Structure 1
Amino acid sequence: MKTLNICIDIDGTITDPYFWLNSANAYFNKNLTVDEITQYDISKAMGVPKSEYVDFYNKNKFRLHGKEENIRKDAKKVIQKLIEEHNIYFVTARDKDLEILTHHYLKKNRIPYDNVFVLGTTYKVDMAKKLSCDIFIEDSYENSLQLSQNGFKVLLINTNYNQMQLNENITRVFNWEQIHDIIDKMLLQQETM
């Protein structure tokens, strides 16, 4: 029997958080750098109206999510270790029409999982409850805050756009090896209780 139910976001968490930047710069005729992306809301980060960003995203989402997202260093290796002992559930806010592409992307990159939930909304609390989530790995500060305020432990993977103050249920992490170490420590603490 597997030990923990681990919920993992996809975009910006197992993938490069700035995968969209080159395409958005070209589309909006901008020259922003990664260091300038200090907001999660891409329209605000790019300084463009929300409607223009939505138009860009809708025109490009299949290419962006299918071909331009690179996997973060060590994410695949760590997830391959974690799935040996734990349930791995990907919980993403991606649009519902990206569900097949999401499964294909994970399989193509040999990222193992027990299930994938493409929500079409940024609200993940209900799914975390349904999955009896023990720990949620996320890059969005707002999602992390919602989850943590509902009693979930969150590992917030560090980005330029999530530098706000954390509460006691959120731990900032800087790489996937650190995520693995924290989960191992959680298990040791559970075993000694």
Structure 2
Amino acid sequence: MKNLNICIDIDGTITDAYYWLNITNKYFNKNITQDDVTQYYIHEIMGVTLKEYDEFYKQNKFEIHSEQILREDVQIVIKKLSKLHNIYFVTAREKELTMFTHSYLKRNEILYDELFVLGSHYKVDKARELDCNVFIEDNYDNAVQLSNAGFKVLLIDTNYNRKALNDNIVRVYNWKEIYYTINKLLLQSFAV
């Protein structure tokens, strides 16, 4: 039996948070830098309508997601965590990206028990269904929503999520820190 049910977002969480910047700048003829990315919604950063961004994304989503670079230590940490815990990827990606996402994770040697491609940023119901003990996320709004529903959230630091945190959210800066924090949470749960 495994100890914890760990839910993990994909884009910006296991991957570089600014993976979309080069292709989006090129398409919209912009020169946005990582430092400019102080909010989550890309269309707002680019100064375009949601409709314009959605059209761009529809045409380029496979290229955007195939070029994503993993964050440092992701593979090693998830491999270690998977020995003791259930690993569930829970992503807001569109459902049509399900097989593509399985392939991406396999190609990058990311171990996991199950993948859930929701097509929505609302993750609370899936976290409940999975009896999630800790959720790793980069989207501030998702983190607050999950934490308000009673879930412990590790929010991986980005320029776009530096806002006030509540008691159920812990800001982390890299995957080594995530590993340390999960081990600390596990020890605390045994101490209770």
State if a TM-score over 0.5 links the two structures.
Answer: yes
Partner deviation per Cα, 1:60-89 (whole Å, 9 max, x = no partner): 0011112x1000001111000000000000
Q: Distance in 1 between matches of 2:167 and 2:93?
A: 28
Residue 75 of structure 1 is matched in structure 2 by 74
Amino acid aligned to 1:6:
I
Amino acid aligned to 1:92:
T
Residue 36 of structure 1 is matched in structure 2 by 36
Residue 184 of structure 1 is matched in structure 2 by 183
Q: How do 1:18-167 and structure 2 match up within 5 A?
A: 18-66=18-66, 68-167=67-166
Shift in Å, 1:179: 0.4
Percent identity, please. 59
TM-score where L is the length of structure 2: 0.99
| Residues matched between the structures, number | 192
Partner deviation per Cα, 1:123-156 (whole Å, 9 max, x = no partner): 0000000000000000000000100000000000
Partner deviation per Cα, 1:97-139 (whole Å, 9 max, x = no partner): 0000000000000000000000000000000000000000000
| Unaligned 5+ runs, structure 1 | none
What is the aligned-residue RMSD (CA, Å)?
Answer: 0.5
Shift in Å, 1:192: 2.0
Helix, strand or coil at the partner of 2:99? helix
Helix, strand or coil at the partner of 1:137? strand
TM-score where L is the length of structure 1: 0.98
Q: Distance in 2 between matches of 1:158 and 1:41?
A: 16
